[in-house]
Structure 1
Amino acid sequence: MKKQPVVLVTGNDLAPQALELLKDFEVRFAGKSCTEDVLLALAKETDPVAIIVRYGRIGASIMDAAPSLKVISKHGSGIDVIDQKAAAERGIAVKAAVGANAAAVAEHAWALILACAKSVPHLNDRMREGYWDKSIHKSIELNGRTLGIVGLGEIGRRVAVTGVVLGMRVIAFDPYANAAPDGVELVNDLHDIYRNADVVSLHCPLTESNRGMLHRETLGLFKNGAILINTARGGLVDEPALAEALTNGMLYAAGLDSFAVEPMTAPHPLQQIPNAILTPHIGGVSDAAYVSMGVGAATNVLAVLGSVTADG
C-alpha cells in the first residue's frame, strides 16, 4: 500500500471539516510544545509535503529538514511567524487563511475597547471585594470620540464600521487602501492617528519596517488619556515604553492580545499595571473561526499541492 504524504500541523488539533479535506494525507500533530527542536525532529521524521502552522515559528532549518515540503499554510492570517525569505529561496509556497478569523478578532478588539473605556475588569474586582463605586466612578463615553484604525484590512474595516455605528468619528491609516467604509476618513499620515484619536486600534501585519513602531517618541504623540488596543502583533509595540506611558498616566488604558514574546514571560511588567487589560492572543480563537481557519489552511494546502501535481 502506498504511503500517504504527510501534512504536519503545529498544534494539537484541527477542525473536523479541515481533516475531511485532508483525508488523502496522513495528518501528524506536533502537540502543545511547538519548540524549534520539536518541530525540527518531526520534520526530519515525517518529511511533510505541507506544514499547517497553528503555533510556533517555521525557519530555514525546519524547511531544510523536510525536502518534500511544498507549502507552509498559516492557520490564520499572520505569516510573520514563517521565514518567508527562506521559503521563497527554497521554492516553498507560503499561504494565509486571509479573513478566516476577521469577525472574531474584530469582536475581541471591541471587547478590549469597551473593557478599557468602561473599566470592566477594575469594577468587577471592586465589586468582588465588597465595594459599590457608583458615586465615585465615571467611565469614558465613546460616542463623539475619535477612533483611529491602523490597518484597514478585513479586521480593521469591521472595527471601523462598528465605531461609526456607535457614533464615533473614525479615522484610518493604511497606505494600501484606496477606499474606506462609509463614515470612515482615510488620513495620509500615521501620526495624525496618534495625535487625534481617543482610541488607537492596531490591525496591521508585522513587518521589519514597522517593528517597534510604537515607542517612547511615538507614544508621546498620543492624546493625553488615550486608549491603545493591540489585537495585531506584539512586535509592533515597545512594551517597556508602553508600561511607562500607562504608569505615568499619559495613557488611560491599553487592551493587549499580542505580545513581543509569546507565551508572555512571567513575571512581566505589564502584569503589575492595573490599567493594562491582557488576554493570551485569543482574539481569533472562536468556535466559528476555529473551523474557518482550519478549512482555509487546508484549502490552501490542497490548492498548492494540486498545482504542483498538475505542473509536475
Structure 2
Amino acid sequence: MTTPPRLSVPKNKLKFVLLEGIHPSAVDLIKRDGYSEVVTSPKALAGEALREVLADAHFLGIRSRTQLTAEVLRAAPKLTAVGAFCIGTNQIDLPAAMQLGIPVFNAPFSNTRSVAELVLAEIIMLMRGIPQKNALLHRNGWSKSAEGSFEVRGKTLGIVGYGHIGTQIGVLAEQLGMVVVFHDIESKLTLGNARQLASLDEVLTRSDVVTLHLPELPSTKGLMGRAQIQAMKPGAHLINASRGTVVDIDALTEALESGHLGGAAIDVFPVEPQGNDSAFESPLTRFDNVILTPHIGGSTLEAQANIGREVADKLIRYSNNGSTTSAVNFPEVALPEHTGSSRLLHIHRNVPGVMARVNERLSKAGVNIAAQYLSTREDVGYVVIDVDSGSPEVAMADLCSLPDTIRCRILY
C-alpha cells in the first residue's frame, strides 16, 4: 500500500520523538532549524506505549534499548526516518524499515575517542595489576609488591577489528611505546607503525593485551571462544568494548579460573539489564582481576553531545532536502542544497522498468527535469528529481499511483 504524498508539510507540523534520554544537543539543533514539535522521554518505550507515541511521529530517535520490530514500524504510518543515537543498529529491523521506505541513520564516529580512551586506561590498569590491588584494599588488605606489575612500554597490543576505534587505540598505544598488531577481515591502510598480521591466531599468540572492536554479526558471534582464548599468551589480558556476543563468557571464566589469562576488562555482555534499576549477573563478578563496566565505553558527556548533533543533523538533512548519505539500510543519495526548484522524492521497489514509468509520468505532466539522482539497494530504489517547470503536484500524484511506489514526498 502506497503512502499519499506529503506536500511540503510545514516544519512546525512535523513531529520528532526522541527516546532514551538523548542529549539536549539534538533537541537544540532540531529546534534551531525550525522544528518546534519535539517530544522527549528519558526511558525506552515498548508495547502499546511505543506504538502510541509513534502513531503520529514523523521522525524517531532512539538509543540501544528501544526495539523497533517490523510490527512496530508498520504501526507508524507517518514515520519518515529513524535516528539511532549510537553506533549499533541491531535493535532495529533494518530490512523491514527499508521495505517501508524508512531510512535509518546512526553515529559511527562520534564516540570513537571516548571508547579509545577507556580501553587505553584499561590496558594500563590490567598490566599494572591495579584491579586486584584495588579490590584488596577495599577489603582492608595491603600488598605492596611489584609482582605481576608491568609497564606497557615495549609490550604488544593486539587489535581485533581495525576500524574507527581500533585505529585510534593503535595510535594512542604507540604513543606509550607499545607494539601494535592487528587482525581484520579486510586489508587496511595502517596508521603509525601498526602491522596487519595474516590471521587472528597470529595476533592472539603474539599479544600481551588483546582488545576487540567488532560489529555484531553472525560471523563474529562467539568469535573469541575456548580455542581462541587458549591460543592467547599465558598471562595475557582480554578487553571487549565492542559487542557482548563476541566473547564466550563461559570460556573466559574458565581461562580466568585456571590462571591462563592475567585479567580482563569487559564493557559489554551477551545479556544486559534492561535498566539502571535491574540487577546485573555474571560469572565474572567473582574475579578481582576483571574490570567490569556497564556498557559505558562511549558514555561521556562529550560523546553524547557529539552523537546528538551528528544524528540530528542527518535527520534534518533528510527532512529538508532528501539526502540519505550514510544511511545504514537505504540507497545513499548525496544531494546539493535544495533551493528554488521543486524536489520530488520517490521511493520504489527496485524492479525492471520502474524508472521508465517514472519519467513517463513526469513527461506527461509537462515537468522539465533540472536534475535527477538515483540510487538502489537490494529491492529498493530511491530517486530524487529537481524540476523547474510544469506541474510537480500532478506529477507527484501520478508517481504515487504507480504500483511499485513505496513512499513519495515533495519539497518546495
User: Does 1:304 pair with 2:318?
Assistant: yes
Residue deviations 1:123-149, cap 9 Å, x none? 223234443312364313222211111
Cα deviation, residue 85, structure 1: 2.0
| 2:197 corresponds to | 187
TM-score (norm 1): 0.91
Residue deviations 1:94-125, cap 9 Å, x none? 21212101111100111222222222232223
| 1:79 corresponds to | 89
User: Does 1:279 pair with 2:293?
Assistant: yes
User: Does 1:114 pair with 2:128?
Assistant: no
CA distance in 2, matches of 1:244, 1:25: 55
Residue deviations 1:64-121, cap 9 Å, x none? 1212222221212222222222222222212121210111110011122222222223
| 1:32 corresponds to | 43
Cα deviation, residue 37, structure 1: 5.4
Cα deviation, residue 225, structure 1: 1.4
User: Does 1:20 pair with 2:31?
Assistant: no
Residues 137 and 178 (structure 1), Cα distance of their counterparts in 2 relative to 1, 3 Å cut: closer
Residues 255 and 310 (structure 1), Cα distance of their counterparts in 2 relative to 1, 3 Å cut: farther
| 2:53 corresponds to | 42
Residues 149 and 136 (structure 1), Cα distance of their counterparts in 2 relative to 1, 3 Å cut: closer
Match for 2:39: what amino acid? R
> Following superposition of structure 1 onto structure 2, how do residues 139-288 of structure 1 map, counting pairs within 5 Å?
139-263=149-273, 266-288=280-302
* Greater C-alpha Rg: 2
TM-score (norm 2): 0.70
Residues 104 and 310 (structure 1), Cα distance of their counterparts in 2 relative to 1, 3 Å cut: farther
CA distance in 1, matches of 2:200, 2:164: 19
CA distance in 2, matches of 1:70, 1:177: 37
CA distance in 2, matches of 1:59, 1:142: 45
* Percent identity between the two aligned chains: 32
Match for 1:288: what amino acid? E
SS at match of 2:90: helix
CA distance in 1, matches of 2:252, 2:312: 38
CA RMSD, 1 decimal? 2.2
Residues 240 and 135 (structure 1), Cα distance of their counterparts in 2 relative to 1, 3 Å cut: closer
Contact 1:50 1:72 survives alignment (8 Å): yes
Q: How many residues align?
A: 309
Cα deviation, residue 38, structure 1: 4.1
Stretch deviating more after TM superposition (258-267 or 231-240): 258-267
Cα deviation, residue 177, structure 1: 4.5
Q: Which of 61, 64, 84 is the aligned partner of 1:55?
A: 64
| 2:15 corresponds to | 6
Residue deviations 1:290-312, cap 9 Å, x none? 11000011011112223447523
Unmatched segments (≥5 aa) in structure 2? 1-8, 323-342, 346-408
Contact 2:22 2:85 survives alignment (8 Å): no
Unmatched segments (≥5 aa) in structure 1? none
